[in-house]
């Protein structure tokens, strides 16, 4: 036992430790530290590309009654073929109060459509403001040319939950 302790002390002298360098990029830190992956296409699926969608709050905070007081949430979409040396394409949609993945289409002529709806946080919003709020549906087309369309949701499911 005595020899094990001596060997452990001697070996610990050989280990080199270095300080971590903090990256000073608040935007990237918020995306990676507070973000969530809300969609990922299956690798090797029928889709010609690998698509991922991430949400991240613009800042850490909470709502104070009015919808405007709630932190904005960013939606990022990455698209890659998965091939060697392929740099993923990165898209960001306009900030909303929340996002929910709904569906995606089968590929058509090398393009894929994704559907997301906007949401509200579940707590600390006045009921009157919540009832008056209307979700939006975003239809995103990714492929050789990428675009998005926004439409109001006019059905009874006006206020989807995150």
Grade residue 111 by pLDDT with cuts at 50, 70 and 90. Answer: confident
Considering the domain boundaries, does residue 7 fall inside one? Answer: no
Considering the domain boundaries, does residue 54 fall inside one? Answer: yes
Considering the domain boundaries, does residue 73 fall inside one? Answer: yes
Considering the domain boundaries, does residue 116 fall inside one? Answer: yes
Considering the domain boundaries, does residue 13 fall inside one? Answer: no
Q: Which two tokens stand for residue 97?
A: 């109060």
**In which residue are the tokens 């919540």 written?**
130
Rounded-to-integer distance, Cα 115 and Cα 136, Å: 10
Q: Could you list the residue range(s) of the whole structural domain that residue 84 is in?
A: 23-152
Instruction: Report the domain count for the chain.
Output: 1
Cβ atoms 47, 103 nearer than 8 A: no
pLDDT tens for residues 43-95? Answer: 766 777 889 999 999 999 999 999 999 999 999 999 988 788 989 999 999 99
Q: How many Cβ atoms sit within 10 Å of the Cβ of residue 82?
A: 11
Considering the domain boundaries, does residue 105 fall inside one? Answer: yes
Considering the domain boundaries, does residue 140 fall inside one? Answer: yes
Considering the domain boundaries, does residue 108 fall inside one? Answer: yes
pLDDT tens for residues 114-124? Answer: 999 999 998 89
């Amino acid at each position: 036992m005595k020899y094990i302790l001596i060997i452990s002390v001697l070996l610990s002298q050989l280990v080199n430790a270095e300080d971590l360098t903090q990256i000073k990029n608040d935007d990237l830190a918020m995306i990676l530290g507070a973000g969530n992956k809300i969609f990922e296409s299956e690798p090797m699926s029928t889709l010609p590309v690998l698509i991922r969608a991430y949400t991240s709050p613009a800042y850490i905070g909470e709502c104070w009654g009015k919808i405007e007081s709630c932190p904005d949430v960013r939606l990022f979409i990455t698209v890659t073929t998965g091939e060697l040396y392929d740099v993923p394409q990165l898209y960001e949609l306009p900030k909303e109060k929340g996002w929910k993945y709904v569906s995606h289409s089968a590929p058509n002529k090398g393009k894929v459509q994704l559907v997301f709806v906007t949401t509200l946080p579940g707590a600390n919003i006045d009921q009157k403001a919540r009832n008056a709020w209307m979700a939006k549906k975003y239809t995103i087309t990714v492929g050789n040319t990428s675009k998005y369309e926004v439409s109001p949701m006019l059905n009874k499911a006006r206020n989807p939950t995150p």
